[in-house]
Structure 1
Amino acid sequence: MASEAHGAEEGGLVFHPMDQFIIKPLFGGDTIAWYTVTNATLWMALSVVAVIVLMVLGTRSRAIVPSRSQSIGELAYGFIYKMVEDVAGKDAIKFFPYIMTLFMFIVMANFLGLLPMSFTTTSHFAVTVVLALLVFLTVTIVGFVKNGVGFLGLFWVSSAPLALRPILAIIELISYFVRPVSHSIRLAGNVMAGHAVIKVFAGFAAIAVVSPVSVVAITAMYGLEVLVAFIQAYVFTILTCVYLKDALHPSH
């Protein structure tokens, strides 16, 4: 702390790109328990409220000539519905409400995290791991309920030579249980990396010599992060559809 203060006094550049991801209690104190209301809790709640406002209140007054909120809601509905139907099949349409809710929460949390002084909940593995585990458990339960023991056919590559099938079965089994890890890390890692880079450029903007370059870099990175916010929600959702397809149609 003393070195940081000394550097600040001498006009040195002191910034911490990862400080923006620290979870803090909203009402003071340093202790965080499971019931503590934190900045992460607040922004997750705001994400839920934003989804409700857009999809429920925004489309309540439906009209032939749609309003902006109705247009966005209808586009999102049609986009995810077609994704579920094309990727997982018509028999997966009954899971559309869950997948739609998943997509809207992630994309709204990503976009809200781009606001100044906000907190990006999807940058934390604690959030993305829970989302990924819910998908993993849902897919596994659906697979066994619908196919019984036949769901294990997902791990048995019948098209491969007989001698290779046991080895491939082990690889498929490991790959299956790694899914929630890769599913969660992909989302949190990409969101965290983008926000950290923006913070780094923002720190350099304080130096007069490189300030113009930093401003241009921040603008470019912010535009990229807007795209990433949507793409990462899309990737998480389409992978959910792929996993659901495996549960509904497990045979290779």
Structure 2
Amino acid sequence: MSKPTFVCIHGAWHSPACWDKVKAILETHGYECICPALPSTDSVPPKHDFTEDVEMIRSTVEKLAEAGNDVILVTHSYGGVPGGQALEDLDKESRHKKVLIIPSQNSPTGTRDGMAESMKTDFEAGVITVGPQDAKGLFYQDLPDETVAELARNLRPQSIGCWWSKTTYAAWRYIPTTYVVCTEDAPTTVMAAEYLVSTAQASEPNMVDTVIRRAVGHSPFFSQPEWTAGMLREAAGEKVEQS
């Protein structure tokens, strides 16, 4: 059988370039890896909600599926919100897709509910930004300061409307799902991740078949790209020796 295609979705404030190291490793092992850009990031004017993110992810997966490809959807952080929504009616027993666990819900419009203090909200401009001084604590806990400073220069404004978008479909209920808990992430984020996992696995239906806990910060594609690529290869059915 041919190898599946990875579709890797970045999180808020980032770009597809965050997957470059992992993408290169996967390609050396014979995988196709597609890393599209979310329309809601660095958008002028900002997006009112996550609709275009959902549509972009769905169209990418649909085109690959229609061409006969098996697809593994890899979503990071915010990317799991539109990613999980985008897969409605795309679940097939012959395909394997991996999505972040997000319940069907939304945040109240016009509030900062669920946002960290380091997420600076400009309601008039319609964006949320993260400054260089907050990048390490929010995204890059296990990276050296000089690397953090370089990465922080590439952070982009995120459309605030995405935080108030309502999800109506939870892909993890119907599609085989792997969830990675990054245990060196911010403590509150780890607590939230563990809550999402336990709540999902306690509910029915659910297809959260694999939960991985790894001593890594919020962005393992930067700090541990070899392990991240190996984990994804395992999700694709390979036997991989991991340290």
Question: Whose relative contact order is higher, 1 or 2, with alpha carbons under 8 Å and at least 6 apart?
Answer: 1
Structures share a fold, TM > 0.5? no
Answer 1 or 2: which has greater helix percent.
Answer: 1
TM-score of the superposition, structure 1-length normalised? 0.24
Q: Please state which structure has a larger fraction of its residues in strand.
A: 2
Q: TM-score, normalised by structure 2?
A: 0.24
Tell me which structure has the larger Cα radius of gyration: 1
